Structure formats: C-alpha cells, structure tokens
Amino acid sequence: MALEDAKTQVDQAFTREDLKGLSFENTFGGATSFLRRRYTKDLTHADIAVTGIPFDQAVTNRPGTRLGPRAVREASALQSPDAPYGWDICPASELAIVDYGDLAFDYANVAAFPDTLTDHIRGILATDTATVAIGGDHYVSFPILKAYAEKYGPISLLHFDAHSDTWQDDDFSRVDHGTMFYKAVKSGVIDPATSVQVGIRTTNEDNLGVPTIDAPTVHAIGPVETARRIREVLGDRPVYLTFDIDCLDPAYAPGTGTPVWGGLTSAQAEAILKELRGINILGGDVVEVSPPFDTTGATAIAGAHVAMSILCLLGWRITGR
C-alpha cells in the first residue's frame, strides 16, 4: 500500500484530507509542512499544532535561526513515511496534528514581538490544542511560556541547553535569548524548584535555584539515570519542554549560534527523551537551529527528531498510555 501511495501522493501539506496517517510522497519532493501535516488554521479537530517562530533578533552571536523553521520542516520529510523507532506510539497515525504555519510579525518592531507571540500561542491554547513550536532563537520560549502560564498556572520547565539562560536582567523590555528564564522565574511564569536544566556547560553563578544536571554529569551517569533524576524533580507537575539544539555537542549540531563543546550526543538526547515517557507535558519547542551554519543539514535533522520526540511525549499524555 505504501508503494502505491508513493506513486500518487504529492503536496500532502495541502491535499491531505485526514489529519491522521503517515505520508508516503517522495521525501525529496512536494511542499514541505512539518511531517507532511496539513497546513491549516482550523483547529476544530486538532490535538497538536506545530507552528514556526522565524525570529532571531535576540541572538548574542551568530544570526540565522529565523530560517530554522523552514529547515526543520524540510528535514522532517525524512520521517514522514515511518513510525518513530522505539516509541510504541506513532504520532502521525494516532494524533490529529496540523502545521499551523509561522507566526506573522513585524520584523522591524522588535518591541512588539513578545506580545504578538503570546497572543499567537494564546489563541491556539484557547482551543485546547497543544503547541510544538519551531524556532527561531531561544527568546521565543518566554512569550510562549506566558501563554501557558495564563492557562495552566506556573509551569515546570524541562530545559535542554548548553546555557542556563538565567543571567540577571531586570529590564523586562529587553529582548535577549540569554536572560529570558531569569525573567520567567521572576515573573512567576515558571516554578524554579520543580524545573530542571540538562546539558549545561557554561558558567552562571546564580541559577535561581533551578536543579541542574550539567553535561559532564550526563556523561558520567548516563541517559537512564539522567531521566530518573529529571522525573524526580518534575513529579507529576505540568511541564513545558524546551530544547535548545546547542545542548548537543557541535559535532552533532554545528548549525547553531552559540556552540559549546562537551555537549550531549544525539544518542544520549534520544535516550533521555524516550526514558521520559509519561511525564505531564503540555507543550514544547525546539530552537536555535541556524541553517547558514548547518552545511550538512545535520542540525536541522536533529531538530526535526527532537520535535518528533516532543510529539511522542505529548502523545503518551494525550492517549493516556
């Protein structure tokens, strides 16, 4: 059946009739939505909306992450014909997932961006649809978290990154991808005591009490124990998962703005995420994929796999496994 479908399917991003089901059109052709899901603003029957946030005006080093959503969508076509290996759930077949398109915003009015993004996510959440966002630089997580906190109360943050992003900055009008979680803690959006950061390998003397499993510790204890410690912190609290692709070592994800050596391998990240099945995840994002520095496409591929893993984790919660 898959072979016959491959002969006739094309542009499933526009022609797909059912929100569920694998897509067998040629991975190298056709219009690229995320995972060949339908582009639509109709969330009537949707479980999850994937949305791109092509914003990179908050970076401190190399720009280019505004092009991340497009690259991750293209890379996701490699996964569209198959169920994800080892997950015991197939989001494309079991969940109603749509590609909600990208956030529309005035790129020259940076001050207006945060509220524009919060409104965008707020509108999706109002339909009881979860979001998986594709960035964009990491600042985008803060406006998204505001919308989640409005709906669910203070959120526990599961944060994969090379950087803590909790450097002190009491000027809340500044748009900066290194201080937004400081602001999220100070504004009561996330609960630091029940949040956890994984893969950190840069110095920040005050992490606001957020439990941290740094990269050397992950290497020492392994993925299974890392996941156990994460679960111990999170408990059954509502969780938002944010994955900065620079959590991975530059050998695995070179296409990012602020690469730091000594990071997680892609295999470690995959294993940790799989071991987190059953956490009370409400939404998530993958950020900081910068295609201009991603000469082989490996970073976008990693980003697409992270996004798929977030879909799997959401699927475990939504289906009640």
Please check if 246 is assigned to a binding site: yes
Alpha carbons 165 and 185: distance in angstroms, whole number: 11
Phi, psi dihedral angles at 23 (to 5 degrees): -120, 130
Residue pair 262/218 in contact by the 8 Å Cβ criterion: no
Q: Whose structure tokens read 């909306």?
A: 49
Please check if 161 is assigned to a binding site: yes
Please check if 169 is assigned to a binding site: no
Alpha carbons 252 and 247: distance in angstroms, whole number: 10
| Number of other residues whose CB lies within 10 A of the CB of residue 170 | 9
Q: Whose structure tokens read 């992490």?
A: 207
For 292-315, the DSSP string reads: GG-TTSHHHHHHHHHHHHHHHHHH
Please check if 206 is assigned to a binding site: no
Please check if 165 is assigned to a binding site: yes
Phi, psi dihedral angles at 287 (to 5 degrees): -135, 170
> Which uninterrupted H or E stretch holds 157?
strand 156-160
Q: Which residues define the annotated binding site?
A: 138, 161, 163, 165, 244, 246
Q: Which residues define the annotated binding site for Mn(2+)?
A: 138, 161, 163, 165, 244, 246
